[in-house]
Each structure stands twice: as C-alpha cells, then as structure tokens.
C-alpha cells in the first residue's frame, strides 16, 4: 500500500497518482503489510473455529421463519384476510293466491270513493266535528280564566311550607331588614317571578328594608324588573315606619365564597354606614344547590332565618331542610305563588294562572271520561 506523502491518503500498490490530492506517487516505496500480534492472531483463530460462517442453505430457514429460533412464540397470522364470498339470497317465490290478493288490494286503493263519508257509520262521519268541539272546549277552559281573572274564584290550598314562609314574614316589625337574593336566570323567570313579586310585596307591606343581591349574573336585571313592577302597581298602604328604597348589592361572584364574605361586605368599613341586622333572608332559586349554599355558608353561621322560594322541581330535594328547621319556610312554583297571593289577600297573575291550569285539567279529564263512555256505548268504535 502506497501512502501519499502530501495528504496521507492510502493508495493501492502500483498507483502513479494519489486518489485524493493527485500528487505524483512514482518512486514512492510501498509500506509493508500490517502484521497482527501473535495473541490477536490466536484469538481470531479461536473465533473462527468456535462459530464457522453459515452457508446460504443454513440461513434459508431463518429467512423463511424469522421467529423459528424464539421459543414459545405466537404463530404468524396473515396480514390480509381472505375475501368473503357474498351470497345473494334468491327471491322468494310468489304463489298465485298472493298475486291475486295483491291485485285486489291495488284495485281497492284505486277505486277509493270520492265521498269519504259514503258507506260509513253516522258516528264516524261526525268524528271531525267532535274533534273540533273538544278543541274549542279545551281552549275556552284554559283561556277564559286568563282573559277574565278570578272569575271562578278558585282558592288554592297553601302547603305547610308556604304558610310557614308567610307567617315568618308577617311577624316582621316595621323597619326590619330583609335580604332578598335573586339566584335564578332568565330561563326560570316565568316560574320564579310570581313568587318574587308576592314575597317582595309582603316585605313592602311590613315596611321592612330590602337589601337586594344576586349570585347569578342575570339576577340583578331580573331583580330590577320585579322592583319596577312593584312601583308601577302599588299595593295597599304599608304599615307605619315605611322604609326607604331598597339597597342594591348587585351581582356577587364566587357562590359559596361570596356568602362567606357577605357579613364583611355589610360591615361599616365596607358600606359606610351602620352594620344592618338581617332579620330574614329570602332565597329565590331555581335549583336546590344554591339554597344549600345559603344554608351551609350563611344561615348556619349567622343564625338568620332562611326562607326558600324555588322551582317546583327543586322543592322535593329541599323538603328535608325545611323539616329539620334549617329553612323557616319553603314555597315553590305557580301553586306556591298562587297560595301566597291568597294568604296575602292580593290576587295576582299567579292565581289567574292557577285557575286556568286547574280548570283546564278538570275539563280534559271530563272529556276523556265522556269519550270512553261514548266509545263503550257505540261498541268500541273510535270517535
């Protein structure tokens, strides 16, 4: 091997020019071959004797079965499944009798009488008229109490929780402070607003001072709407010592944290006035969860009587709180608002809606009974 004196590149013996730099190699004496030490040559001999090189025939099984030398290996499965043969079922044979029945059915469908009432019983001809009469009766039963409120003088029966809420507010002295929290959103306003109006009206009649707040971002706007209706429709003259306009705390974010910090918010250093003593707290909530927050974070620690006015769906979950005395009063839904208006002696929209619902349900039940009787007398025919 010839080593280039210019760049050190190794070139084959007999080369005239360097393969790397092109320098002239004529006259350069080739280097002697590299000889391994005796110990290294002995090691190489032992390696070659221990494991001779495999021939092509010996390597062929390993190429065909790469997992053959691995013990307890899972069998190799096919990467592509065989195509599934699609079997098309044969069309069922049609008998002559079935073909004849099909022809008769097609002929009957084409020759349907132009006069639908031809050949039908008299009660079947009167069926559309009966449906119109039933519809008109139901609309009248529901609509008349709404157009002419208190026409039937329906008297809803108050529940024990509604009566307890009324009695608790009715025991307030003039000048007392009541905390009213609007903890529902616009989706529940149709059900909750009559309750809010009835309770706020009662507090106004007792000449108590209202502190209005909300744990819901939409609650302040809903509270303004209720207070505006109270101003536009003034009730009887309040008791002596009527209070000033309500104090508005607005929206208090934080849910439980806001209730824990509520006493500090009412402190003199944060309100700029004497700390009010809260005699009652009224929670207007569409869910049971918000009432639990009030019970756990405010009512228990501050020892303030809590009155809950909630949706009809939330009342069953809160009934144990009323039975245990953690809630002083519990009323719910349209029926609760109508019952509260009756106890207050000031019929409003809740009583009108209650009359409409009650009379409508009674009329529907009566029509169902009459329809069943008529069907039995007519031999089970449908009207």
The CATH homologous superfamily to which domain 160-266+274-346 belongs is Methylglyoxal synthase-like domain (3.40.50.1380)
CB 309 within 8 A of CB 195: yes
What's the CA gap between 185 and 192, in Å, rounded?
9
How confident is the model at residue 363, as a pLDDT? 80
Token pair in block for residue 303: 């020892």
How confident is the model at residue 229, as a pLDDT? 87
Q: What is the pTM of this model?
A: 0.56
**Most confident of the ranges 83-92, 233-242, 295-304:** 295-304
The average pLDDT across 307-332 equals: 92
In the chain, domain spans:
1-33, 124-150+347-383, 160-266+274-346
Q: Return the minimum-mean-pLDDT range out of 85-94, 205-214, 312-321.
A: 85-94
Token pair in block for residue 15: 């080369």
Mapped onto helix, strand or coil, the DSSP state of residue 282 is strand
How confident is the model at residue 1, as a pLDDT? 76
Helix (H) or strand (E) run with residue 147 in it: helix 127-147
Residue 327 burial (CB count, 10 A): 25
Contacts 24+ apart (CB under 8 A), 27-33: 28/2, 28/3, 28/4, 30/1, 30/2, 31/1, 31/2, 31/3, 33/1
CB 45 within 8 A of CB 54: no
Q: Which residues contact 205 (CB under 8 A, 6 or more apart)?
A: 235, 236, 238, 239, 344
* Count of residues in the chain: 383
The average pLDDT across 109-128 equals: 58
Place of tokens 């209202």: 210
Confidence of residue 283 (pLDDT cuts 50, 70, 90): very high
How many angstroms separate the Cα of 7 from the Cα of each of 13, 22, 342? 17, 10, 114
The average pLDDT across 85-92 equals: 69
The pLDDT of residue 343 is above 70: yes
pLDDT per residue over 7-27, tens digit each?
Answer: 888 888 888 888 888 888 888
What's the CA gap between 275 and 273, in Å, rounded?
6
CB 11 within 8 A of CB 19: yes
């Amino acid at each position: 091997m010839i080593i280039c004196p210019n760049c050190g590149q190794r070139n084959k013996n007999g080369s005239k020019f360097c393969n790397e730099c092109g320098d002239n190699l004529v006259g350069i004496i080739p280097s002697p071959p590299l000889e391994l030490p005796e110990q290294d040559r002995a090691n190489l001999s032992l390696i070659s004797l221990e494991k001779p090189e495999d021939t092509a025939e010996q390597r062929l099984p390993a190429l065909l079965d790469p997992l053959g030398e691995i013990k307890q290996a899972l069998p190799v499965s096919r990467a592509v499944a065989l195509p599934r043969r699609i079997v098309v079922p044969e069309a069922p044979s049609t008998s002559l009798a079935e073909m004849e029945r099909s022809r008769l059915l097609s002929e009957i469908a084409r020759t349907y009488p132009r006069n639908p009432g031809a050949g039908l019983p008299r009660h079947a001809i009167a069926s559309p008229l009966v449906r119109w009469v039933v519809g008109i009766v139901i609309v009248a039963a529901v609509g008349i109490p709404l157009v002419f409120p208190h026409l039937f003088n329906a008297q809803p029966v108050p529940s024990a929780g509604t009566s307890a809420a009324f009695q608790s507010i009715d025991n307030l002295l003039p000048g007392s402070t009541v905390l009213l929290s609007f903890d529902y959103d616009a989706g529940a306003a149709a059900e909750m607003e009559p309750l809010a109006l009835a309770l706020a009206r009662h507090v106004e009649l007792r000449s108590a001072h209202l502190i209005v707040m909300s744990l819901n971002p939409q609650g302040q706007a809903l509270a303004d709407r209720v207070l505006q209706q109270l101003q536009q429709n003034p009730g009887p003259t309040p008791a002596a010592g009527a209070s000033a306009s309500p104090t508005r705390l607005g929206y208090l974010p934080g849910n439980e944290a806001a209730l824990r910090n509520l006493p500090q918010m009412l402190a003199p250093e944060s309100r700029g006035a004497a700390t009010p003593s809260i005699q009652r707290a009224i929670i207007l909530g569409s869910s049971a969860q918000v009432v639990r927050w009030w019970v756990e974070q405010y009512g228990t620690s501050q020892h303030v009587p809590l009155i809950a006015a909630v949706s009809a769906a939330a009342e069953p979950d809160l009934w144990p709180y009323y039975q245990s005395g953690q809630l002083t009063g519990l009323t719910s839904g349209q029926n609760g608002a109508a019952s509260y208006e009756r106890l207050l002696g000031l019929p409003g929209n809740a009583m009108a809606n209650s009359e409409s619902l009650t009379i409508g349900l009674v009329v529907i039940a009566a029509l169902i009974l009459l329809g069943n009787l008529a069907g039995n007398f007519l031999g089970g025919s449908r009207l």
